[in-house]
Amino acid sequence: MTPFFRSLAVIGPGLIGSSVLRRARETGTIAETLIAADTSSRVLERVRELDIADVTTADLAKAAQADCVMICVPVGAVEQVAGQLLPHMKPGSILTDVASVRGQLGPKITAILPENVAYVPGHPMAGTEHSGPDAGFSTLFEDRWALLVPPEGADQNAITTIEKLWTLCGARTKILTDDEHDRICAMVSHLPHLLAFTICDTADNLSDELRAAVLDYAASGFRDFTRIAASDPVMWRDIFLANREALLGTLDRFVADTQAMADAIRKGDEAGIISRIERGRAIRRTLIENRQA
């Protein structure tokens, strides 16, 4: 089978980017030539040691020559990197990114798109709390969703191509608007991370003695919340700021629901407590049925 692309360039081979490269390397179905670009020579050195790319380069203009160029840098840097890549991209090629907040990225990058270059971003809903080229693995996207957010007027063939790319990575794809995407991610990813960081913060603010005890006895609950709290601070700062509006709106609703549960507990409203817990269990069951748990 001929690989799907002649060349695929990953800009920023971290957790997501290096997982795409590993997948492409292992299956041989994605691209004939794999290019990894990064400003960090240490990252490129590591990519060579891992042998997950055919070409490594710090030169974005060179990476921009690929048939498909995938920006995998932190969300705050996507627009700037796109601006550096686009003038060098070939007619007929496709730019994509994996930014986890869409905001105004779609219209902004579309506005600077050269003729005959398509822009079809997509966000794979997968990850771990680890980062960097060593953190990736080829099965990261299996059974996960890649949320495609093509800007208005995006080329239909390019959309189909990026869908196929993610399918080859093992993911299922869905097309959403930027706004839908950002509201969904606020709920499923950004709010949980905010709460995880905050519960650790609350624990950290306890008296020394009590904090030491919490750390000792974290099984059954607390530790589940802390896995994602190990995530990269700069990445998450950028996500929180980029999706500020949707995130704070979701947080307001969550705090209101928390206060309602607190009221039920304060008043000893047994039925109220049970009905809130039951709703949680129902959601969990659905997750298991949807193979997302």
In the list 147, 149, 159, 162, the residue contacting a copy of itself (rule: CB under 8 A) is: 147
Q: Which stretch binds a copy of itself (CB under 8 A): 18-26, 90-98, 125-133, 154-162?
A: 125-133
Rule CB under 8 A: say whether 281 interacts with a copy of itself: yes
Give CA–CA dist 203/1, Å, rounded: 54
Type of residue at 57: T
Q: Which of residues 180-199 bind a copy of itself (CB under 8 A)?
A: 180, 183-185, 187-199
Calpha distance 113→121 (Å, rounded): 13
Q: Which is nearer to a copy of itself, 39 or 198 (CB)?
A: 198
State the number of binding residues for a copy of itself (CB under 8 A).
92
Structure tokens, 47 = 């990519």
219 makes contact with a copy of itself (CB under 8 A): yes
Q: Beta 145-148 vs 55-57: how paired, if at all? A: unpaired
Residue 51 or 204: which CB sits closer to a copy of itself?
A: 204
Q: How far is CA 272 from CA 101, 224, 250, 285, in A?
A: 35, 25, 22, 20
Nearer to a copy of itself, 66 or 122 (CB): 122
How far, in Å, CA of 67 to CA of 86, rounded?
A: 12
- Among positions 126-145, residues that touch a copy of itself (CB under 8 A) are 126-127, 144-145
CB of 121 vs a copy of itself, minimal distance in Å: 16
Which residue stretch of 22-30, 90-98, 106-114, 236-244 sits at the interface with a copy of itself (rule: CB under 8 A)? 236-244
Position 254 contacts a copy of itself (CB under 8 A)? yes
- The 8-class DSSP code of residue 112 comes to T
Listed in sequence order, the residues at least 6 apart from 135 whose beta carbon sits closer than 8 Å to its beta carbon are: 14, 15, 18, 128
Contact call for residue 253 and a copy of itself (CB under 8 A): yes
With CB under 8 A as the contact rule, the residue among 36, 71, 125, 162 that binds a copy of itself is 125
Cβ nearer to a copy of itself, comparing 124 with 133: 124
261 binds a copy of itself (CB under 8 A): yes
User: Could you identify the residue written with the tokens 């490269």?
Assistant: 21
Which region, judged by CB under 8 A, interacts with a copy of itself, from 37-45, 65-73, 153-161, 240-248?
Answer: 240-248
Does 208 bind a copy of itself (CB under 8 A)? Our answer is no
How far apart CA 43 and CA 50 sit, in angstroms, is 10
Angle (deg, nearest 10), helices 233-242 and 244-267 = 90
* Relative orientation angle of helices 41-50 and 15-27, to the nearest 10 degrees: 30
In the block, residue with structure tokens 């005959």: 116
